[in-house]
Amino acid sequence: MASGHNLGTVISFEFWRTIKKPSFWIATLSFPLMFAVIFGIVYYSSKSSSDSSQKLAEERFSIEYKDDSGVVLPIVAEKLQAKTIDNKQTGIEKVKSGQLDAFFYYPGDLGKKNIEVYGKDSGLFDNGKYSAVAEQMLKTSASATIANPKLIAVTQGAVSSDVTTYKKNGEVSAGWMAAIPPLLFLVFFYFTIAMLGNNLLNSTVEEKENRVTEMILTTLNPTVLIVGKLIATFLAGLVQAAVMITPAVAAYFILGAEAINLPNADMLSRLVVDPTAMTIGALLMIGGLMLFTGTLVAVGAIMPTAKEAGQYFGIAILLMFIPFYIIMLILSNPETLVVQIFTFFPYTAPVTALLRNAFGSLSVSHAAIIISMLIVLGTIIILLAVRLFRYGAMQYDSRLSLKFLNAKKR
Amino acid sequence: MTTAATVIEINNFTMRFGDKTVIDDLSFDVKKGETFGFLGSNGSGKTTTMRALLGIYQPSAGELLINGKKFEPEDGKSLGYLPEERGLYKKESVIDVMTYFGQLKGLDKREAREWSLDYLKRVKLEDKAKSKVDKLSGGQQQKVQLGVTIMNDPDVLILDEPTKGFDPVNRRLLMDIIEAQRAKGATIVLITHDMSEVERLCNRLILLKDGNKAAYGTVPEVLAKFKKKNMDDVFLQVYGEDASMQEGEE
């Protein structure tokens, strides 16, 4: 009862302490801010380019052309008020002298030679209009010649394919649509450790740096303190996730999915949520969080200062990134020895197994082994962290030595 | 066997760090309601004994009991401990830190907050309630820490060098607070180098040297045993010139 009360008190204190820190909000807001800036740039450039295209479409300029390919139809050229001439050099000279805005030369063998476009300089960006019109004249003419909508679609690349693949058991493989939902656990795992791991590490070192440990140890079970810190970190991670996705959600509802290149409702409905993969993903994430956060607390208990502890945080991040160096191997050939080692080595297991789970190459039996390993090892590391905290925090100015730990262990 | 009047009981306590024996077969007790002086030079093992009593260290041998049982953090609700190593959460506000510790000691949030504000007023720090701890002077931080120590109105109060760093005015204030706790019937263990405090406040005392008991009893008994008129002279006789030379963890 008392422990429960104290756990709530610790969670509340540590949670508010974390989210009141300016560094928390700098880290949290930098992502949506960056998202907003990138979105703003994309939106602006997209709008500008659309405006420019419209302006170009409406703009009229004098054109002459010589067609040795025989593809360009006079009727198409006439619509653009383009006139044909017999001599290529004459066209070029007219452009040079300013009598003509643009001259296009279509060579006899379009498969081997490029269209030659000559134009009056209208600035770096506007000069693109000449080649756009030259190519459009050719495409429109070619399509009109084919006079078959299906063939036109093929020649213009407007054809896509629906792929259906089958697993070994004959079930239809859902591909990316099945991989995305379990991958969300990997994203949450990454963000929690990358953005809050350092905070967790520092909050443990802080007890020592502030000389507050003795007061704590005589009022509070250290296990309650450590578990409280871990839960508070998890909750702060949820706040961070909510803040980060809010701009995307707001933009989705205000501007629509297409405006911000997010999947629309139709695409979302095609996501395949496999309960087994999701359960395994959630358990792998929890096990991974237990192992990494427990390790960070243990490091915090050993190190005398936040600065020294920070170096070890870098190693934790590195271990999380290492599996991505062999991601192609993980996805294409998960049975190789290297992937197997990464799958079962505790500190690379969470990321590797989460990836393999998402892409369907992790068997349930292997997943069970890895989850058990992570949860058992995570629990042991957390218990060790509690012990290290109890004794390491009493060595205020130096690292915890094994000799000291042996002298004081219960 | 613990009697009803015994609050702290230490039997055959030995503490070793590696090959070094810091405390060797120490036994003493502290009775209910008394103010007990725990004396010794730097490095004599006073703080180590208190840390072992409070479960922070595991003793190499012996038994350390409070109210007849080994201390657990849950028992901290009836105990106040002012450690030698002072410290609070420096980047938090005074009122938040005090409220947090009050809650850990069993008060509800509102109760802890109200008590803290009353206490801050009493020690003339009411205008610092919302200040960050690291914006306070050392003496002001000591006052806050003392408040945290007594806010649960503890039955047992262990004060390790409580006047360290205090000016005479604050020292007087502190002594008033200790007196008030004593008047309420609290058992007080006073770890100090200030022999005048011992003579004035303590019913009984123990003087450690090299991890052993050099003196134990009431102040008059100790003075009589050493044939001295004051505790300063007793201390000097026990330690001689070593007293000012010794350093290290106590």
Q: Do A268 and A318 sit in the same domain of this protein? A: yes
Among candidates B79, B100, B106 on the partner chain, residue whose Cβ is nearest the Cβ of A13: B100
In 3D, which of A308, A100, A128 has the Cα closest to residue A202?
A308
Judged against a pLDDT cut of 70, whether residue B197 lies above it is answered with: yes
> What does the pLDDT read at residue A53?
60
* Same domain assignment for residues A192 and A296: yes
Q: With b meaning 16 or more CB within 10 Å and e meaning fewer, what string describes A293-315? A: bbbbbbbbbbbbebeebeebbee
Q: Give domain status of residue A390, yes or no.
A: yes
pLDDT category of residue A364 using cuts at 50, 70 and 90: very high
Which residues from B are below 8 Å from A6, CB to CB? 103-104
Domain end position, chosen among A93, A121, A155: A155
Same domain flag for A298 and A376? yes
Strands A82-84 and B6-17: unpaired
CA neighbours within 13 Å on the CB side: how many for A330?
A: 23
Provide the pLDDT confidence category of residue B4 given band limits of 50, 70 and 90: very low
Q: Which of B130, B112, B140, B35 minimizes the C-alpha distance to A219?
A: B112
A246 belongs to a structural domain: yes
- Structural domain contains residue A3: no
Q: Among A102, A125, A155, where does a domain finish?
A: A155
Dihedral sign of CA atoms A312, A315, A317, A319 in order:
negative
The predicted structure's pLDDT at residue A349: 94
Average pLDDT over residues A54-74: 82
- Does the residue A263 lie in any domain? yes
Residues A143 and A182 in one domain: no
> Residue A63 and residue A101: Cα distance in Å, rounded?
6
Query: What tens digit of pLDDT does each residue of B134-183 get?
Result: 999 888 888 898 899 988 888 999 998 888 777 787 788 888 888 888 88
Cβ–Cβ gap A13/B74 under 8 Å: no
Whether residue A232 is found in the same domain as residue A97: no
Q: How confident is the model at residue A250, as a pLDDT?
A: 76
Which range scores top for mean pLDDT: A367-376, A391-400, B40-49, B236-245?
A: A367-376
Please indicate, yes or no, whether residues A185 and A150 belong to a single structural domain of this protein.
no
> What is A228-270 written as a DSSP string?
HHHHHHHHHHHHHHHHHHHHHHHHHHHH-TGGGT---HHHHHT
**B51-74 confidence digits (pLDDT tens):** 899 988 889 999 999 998 998 888
Per-residue confidence (pLDDT) for residue B111, from 0 to 100: 94
Give the C-alpha separation, A185 to A289, whole Å. Answer: 11
Is the pLDDT reported for residue B21 higher than 50? Answer: yes
Say whether both A141 and A224 belong to one domain: no
Q: What does the pLDDT read at residue A409?
A: 46
Give the CATH number, domain containing residue A140. 3.40.190.10
Amino acid at A248: A
Domain assignment present for residue A345? The answer is yes
> Using a CB-CB distance cutoff of 8 angstroms, which residues of chain B are in contact with residue A410?
58
- B73/A394 Cβ within 8 A: no
Interatomic CA distance for residues B118 and B107, integer angstroms: 15
A385: in domain: yes
Is A251 in the same domain as A340?
Answer: yes
Residue A175 clears pLDDT 80, i.e. is over it: no
SS3 of A284-329: the string is HHHHHHHHHHHHHHHHHHHCCCHHHHHHHHHHHHHHHHHHHHCHHH
Same domain, A307 and A337: yes
Cα-Cα end-to-end distance for chain A:
24
Residue A32 included in any domain: no
Answer yes or no: is A15 within a domain: no
Taking the CA of residue B121 and the nearest CA in chain A, the distance in Å comes to 23
For residues A206 and A126, state if they share a domain: no
Provide, as residue numbers in chain A, all residues whose Cβ is less than 8 Å from the Cβ of B76.
218-220
Verify that A110 and A181 share a domain, yes or no: no
User: pTM of the predicted model, to two decimals?
Assistant: 0.71
Count Cα atoms within 13 angstroms, Cβ side, for A296. 32
pLDDT higher at A196 or B115: B115
Distance CA A398, CA A61 (A): 79
Domain-ending residue, one of A128, A155, A182? A155
Domains of chain B as residue ranges with CATH: 6-239 (3.40.50.300)
HSE value, Cβ hemisphere, 13 Å, CA-based, for A68: 14
Range of the domain at A188: 174-408
Q: How many domains does chain A have?
A: 2
* pLDDT score of A396: 56
Q: What CA–CA distance (Å, rounded) separates A169 from A182?
A: 21
pLDDT digits (tens, 9 = 90+) for A319-356: 888 898 888 888 888 889 999 999 999 999 999 999 99
The answer, yes or no, to whether residue B102 has pLDDT greater than 90, is: yes
d(CA A330, CA A355): 8
In a shared domain, residues A362 and A226: yes
Helix, strand, or coil (residue A137): helix
